[in-house]
Amino acid sequence: MPELPEVEVTRRSFADRIAGARVQAVRVGKPLRWPLGCDPQVLVGQQVQVVTRRGKYLIVHLDGGVLLLHLGMSGSLQFAPQLPPPGVHDHFELETSHGRLRLHDPRRFGAVVHAPSLDDARVRKLLDGLGVEPLEGGFDARVFHEALQRRRAAIKPVLMAGDIVVGVGNIYASEALFLAGIRPTVRADRLSRSRVARLHAAIIQVLQKALALGGSTLRDFSSAQGESGYFQLDAMVYDREGQPCRVCGTAIRATRQAQRSTFYCPRCQKP
């Protein structure tokens, strides 16, 4: 599943190139997770201003509204002057004066949603509940600790819920908790201020590393230029059940939390 670093890598790979382009045609394929919310013809003639990101939503700002794009479980975007004819899994395409932006999404959990502005009720419903951006100035260790004090659930599902901080999906939650030496099953409200400070630093470190490497290589992910990243190759715990911990040599354990696999080192990560 594309996580925040992959989405940000995707954004950076086409945002500058599509800025200023005029939409010339729109092609809509099979239904995605949510309907577009407008007649595709409404988009024709509009100019792309900038492409921003909030959580895992890419926001294409047009002079007549916004397009929110979500990659779902298996989506990827391509942007190029020319692309081969659309295949069965290509479900949305903007033909612009600078190139074609195409959403490829075999499982169709992704979405493209149009709204007149970011204040629109449909957009607010998707974006309002999102936590702070971990790679921007608003992510503060003290505020993070206060928010965790109000949660009695285990720290890993609390991180993954995304309403305190966005972007910490399964891989990055497992890796950040390892770096911070915290067992994923510890209750969020039982973490001391100093442990939360270590976790805060670890989240930033893990996400920045993934961004630098171009996002993790996941089955269906490729950035808008068709490159893939390498983060998973040097994961400390994620998907390493039974293998020796890279720090202490103890076998990595796997468990399930909130229907998701969790990986941890029983020696390095304290309850």
Interacting residues with Zn ion (CB under 5 A): 245, 247-248, 250, 265, 267-268
In terms of CB distance, is 85 or 249 closer to Zn ion? 249
Q: DSSP letter string over 1-41?
A: ---HHHHHHHHHHHHHHHTTPBEEEEEE-S--SS---S-GG
For residue 2, indicate whether it is catalytic.
yes
Amino acid letter at 218? L
> Shortest distance, CB of residue 22 to Zn ion, whole angstroms?
55
Query: Within the chain, where are the H helices?
Result: 4-18, 121-127, 141-149, 155-161, 170-180, 193-212
Spatial contact of 83 and 102, defined as CB atoms under 8 Å apart: yes
Find the catalytic residue in 17, 53, 56, 240: 56
Cβ distance to Zn ion smaller for residue 91 or 183: 183
Q: How far is the CB of 264 from Zn ion (least distance, A)?
A: 9
Asked if 260 is an active-site residue, the reply is yes
User: Residue 195 Cβ, how far from Zn ion at the closest point, in Å?
Assistant: 17
The SS3 assignment for 131 reads coil
By beta-carbon proximity to Zn ion, the closer residue of 102 and 195 is: 195
Give me the long-range contacts of 125-132 (CB less than 8 A, separation at least 24).
126/57, 126/68, 127/54, 127/55, 127/57, 129/163, 130/54, 130/55, 130/162, 130/163, 130/166, 131/162, 131/163, 131/164, 131/165, 131/166, 132/164, 132/165, 132/166
The one catalytic residue among 2, 5, 157, 184: 2
Q: Which is nearer to Zn ion, 84 or 249 (CB)?
A: 249
Closest contact distance (angstroms) between CB of 211 and Zn ion is 25
Query: 3 catalytic, yes or no?
Result: yes
Nearest residue to Zn ion, by Cβ distance, number only = 245
Q: Hey, which residues are catalytic here? A: 2-3, 56, 260
